[in-house]
């Protein structure tokens, strides 16, 4: 399976400009994208993180634009490619909002996934749903999670025995707190890299973490460097990591699931979980 992705760095609170930039990136790289099975963008690709002060402005933007129709049109031009459009804050039927990742193929929506582990201002703007998304790409089954969901093993347990690959659009910076000043390496980067390894191995599926890169700036958000992306394939471990600081470069990786098949045969952490769960010990 071939997967293409961009580590796109969004313009703060500018839905129209981000959509135009994403369309431009796709057009410039269309030939290479069409050679892949999946195209992925990071979390918040259309807006960047929002705060309460600018949320009314964002709601007006999202109301004035037919976003779904725009994404359907983009998808039609990439025939045969499944597109995961990172995530964006979308209105729900009950007048609330969710941080939602949308999946399209051949101009039609495949499904959506709402972030579970809300963080910062998402807690005041969004609600988390209990629905999960699983879909096929060729003979493989794919699941979704979003960024901070990584801290919740329970989110990933919902996919055990049901998917081969989980894709995680993210917007995770590599700055830190006061503890960071004691270390020369990025605690944040080590944090999410180790979490990715754990989630893949304990659940016996491959994992792709697609993150923004570059220095993110906004009027309210402290300037920070974003972290980069990686892929995990048990039993090989981390099979891809990007130190590329250009958010507009295309990345293409190939996931060979024969290794995952071997891991499941000899370690069977997915089957072990199912067995112990049946014993009602947790």
What does the mean pLDDT of the chain come to? 91
| pLDDT at 223 > cutoff 70 | no
With a cut of 60, say whether residue 29 has pLDDT above it. yes
Residue scoring higher pLDDT (62 or 40): 40
Q: 222 falls in which pLDDT band (50, 70, 90)?
A: low
Give the mean model confidence (pLDDT) for residues 199-216. Answer: 94
CATH superfamily of 2-278: Carbon-nitrogen hydrolase (3.60.110.10)
- CB-CB contact of 30 with 22 (8 Å): no
Query: How far is it, in rounded angstroms, from Cα 177 to Cα 41?
Result: 27
Distance between CA 76 and CA 171 in Å, rounded?
27
Q: Is the pLDDT of residue 221 over 80?
A: no
Is-contact 208 39, C-beta < 8 A? no
pLDDT tens sequence across 91-143: 877 667 888 999 999 999 999 999 998 888 888 888 888 889 999 999 999 99
**What pLDDT shows up at residue 218?**
66
Residue 12's pLDDT is what? Answer: 81
Instruction: Render pLDDT for 155-165 as a digit per residue (tens, 0 to 9).
Output: 999 999 999 99
Lowest-confidence pick of 14-18, 39-43, 216-220: 216-220
pLDDT band at 247 (very low <50, low <70, confident <90, very high): very high
**Residue 54, Cα to own-chain centre: how many angstroms?**
24
pTM listed for this prediction: 0.95
Structural domain boundaries of the chain?
A: 2-278
């Amino acid at each position: 399976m071939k997967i293409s992705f961009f580590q796109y760095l969004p313009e703060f609170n500018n839905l129209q400009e981000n959509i135009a930039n994403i369309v431009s990136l796709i057009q410039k790289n269309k030939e290479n994208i069409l050679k892949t099975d999946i195209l992925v963008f990071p979390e918040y690709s259309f807006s960047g993180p929002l705060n309460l002060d600018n949320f009314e402005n964002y709601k007006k933007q999202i109301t004035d634009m037919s976003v779904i129709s725009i994404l359907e049109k983009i998808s039609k031009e990439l025939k045969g490619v499944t597109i995961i459009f990172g995530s964006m804050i979308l209105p729900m039927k009950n007048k609330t909002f969710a941080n939602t990742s949308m999946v399209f193929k051949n101009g039609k929506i495949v499904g959506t996934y709402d972030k579970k582990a809300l963080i910062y201002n998402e807690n005041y703007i969004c609600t988390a749903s209990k629905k999960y998304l699983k879909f096929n790409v060729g003979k493989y089954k794919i699941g979704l999670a979003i960024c901070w969901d990584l801290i919740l093993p329970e989110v990933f347990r919902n996919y055990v025995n049901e998917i081969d690959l989980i894709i995680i659009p993210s917007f995770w910076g590599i700055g830190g707190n006061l503890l960071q000043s004691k270390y020369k390496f990025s605690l944040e980067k080590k944090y999410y890299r180790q979490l990715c390894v754990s989630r893949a191995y304990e659940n016996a599926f491959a994992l792709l973490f697609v993150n923004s890169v570059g220095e993110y700036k906004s009027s309210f958000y402290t300037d920070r460097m974003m972290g980069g992306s990686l892929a995990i394939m048990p039993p090989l471990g981390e099979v891809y990591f990007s130190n590329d600081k250009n958010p507009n470069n295309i990345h293409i990786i190939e996931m060979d699931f024969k290794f995952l098949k071997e891991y499941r045969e000899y370690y069977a952490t997915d089957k072990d979980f199912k067995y112990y769960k049946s014993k009602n010990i947790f």
